[in-house]
Amino acid sequence: MSLLGQKTRADYIQWQDMQSTVLKLERDGELKYALLIAVGSYVGLRISDLRILKWNNVLNKEYLNVIEKKTKKERKITIHPDLQEIIQRIYAKINPDVNQYMFVNRFGEKPVSIQHINHKLKEVFKKYGVEGRISSHSLRKTLSRQIWEKNGCSDKALLLLSDLLNHSSVTVTKRYLGIQEQEISNLYLSV
């Protein structure tokens, strides 16, 4: 386990593995983590912003408006209809106050800690057979990788992702997605 503040590298999760894990968690009654993985993978917020969302920020909304903690930039995020369905389904099962945090600690008062989230995500994905270096940042990378792949792995998609992720350059986005490593590896195979 990494130390607080230590830099680590997280892998992205294959989209179908993410969706399957969300359904399994929901089936097994782990509603908070099913929701966390779904919301994190569909909206791509950093965990510091994700963990402080309240139900009234997303429930029956087309958009999520946030001011990112790290960048202090305002973002308007479209809530995918599939995500809205998951949110509504889990909300109906939990039936919390709409002004409550979505991801509360065991006492139901404060948002769950980032360290606990990272520990639980590693545990969850291992339990359901998803390999890799999984952390809360994997959710943000999962959305990024899905967008890039769904848009034909194009340079245009990289440019838009760079903007969406608030990266300083497309080069940073390529490194973030592990594309440069992949391209370099492919060079060796092209001989």
* pLDDT tens sequence across 147-163: 999 999 999 999 999 99
Banded pLDDT at 55 (limits 50, 70, 90): very high
- 13-17, 57-61, 173-177 — which is least confidently predicted? 173-177
Binned at pLDDT 50, 70 and 90, residue 2 comes out as very low
Catalytic residue among 32, 46, 141, 145: 46
Across the range 138-145, mean pLDDT stands at: 96
Is the pLDDT at 67 greater than 50? The verdict is: yes
Q: pLDDT-derived band of residue 109, with 50, 70 and 90 as boundaries?
A: confident
pLDDT of res. 1: 47
Query: Is 137 one of the catalytic residues?
Result: yes
Lowest mean pLDDT among 69-73, 96-100, 101-105: 69-73
Per the annotation, the verdict on 140 as an active-site residue is yes
* 116 among known catalytic residues: no
- CA atoms within a 13 Å half-sphere pointing along the CA-CB vector of 79: 18
User: Domains along the chain?
Assistant: 15-135 (1.10.443.10), 151-189 (no CATH)
pLDDT of 6: 52
Residue type, 112: V
* DSSP track, 53-103: -BHHHHTT-SEEEEE-TTT--EEEEEPPHHHHHHHHHHHHHH---TTSBSS
Q: Which of 140, 141, 145, 174 is catalytic?
A: 140
pLDDT for 129 equals 96
| Whether 46 is catalytic | yes
Please report, rounded to a whole number, the percentage of residues in the chain having pLDDT higher than 70: 95
The one catalytic residue among 27, 70, 72, 106: 70
Buried/exposed code over 33-65 (b: 16+ C-beta within 10 A; e: otherwise): bbbbbbbbbbbbbbbebbbbbbbebbeeeeebe
pLDDT the model gives residue 7: 57
Contact predicate 10/133, CB 8 Å: yes
* pTM over cut 0.85: yes
Annotated active-site residue 167? The verdict is yes
More confident: 185 or 42: 42
Q: How much is the average pLDDT of 118-128?
A: 97
Active site residue 80: no
Q: What is the SS3 string spanning 38-52?
A: HHHHHHCCCHHHHCC
The catalytic position among 32, 137, 141, 174 is 137
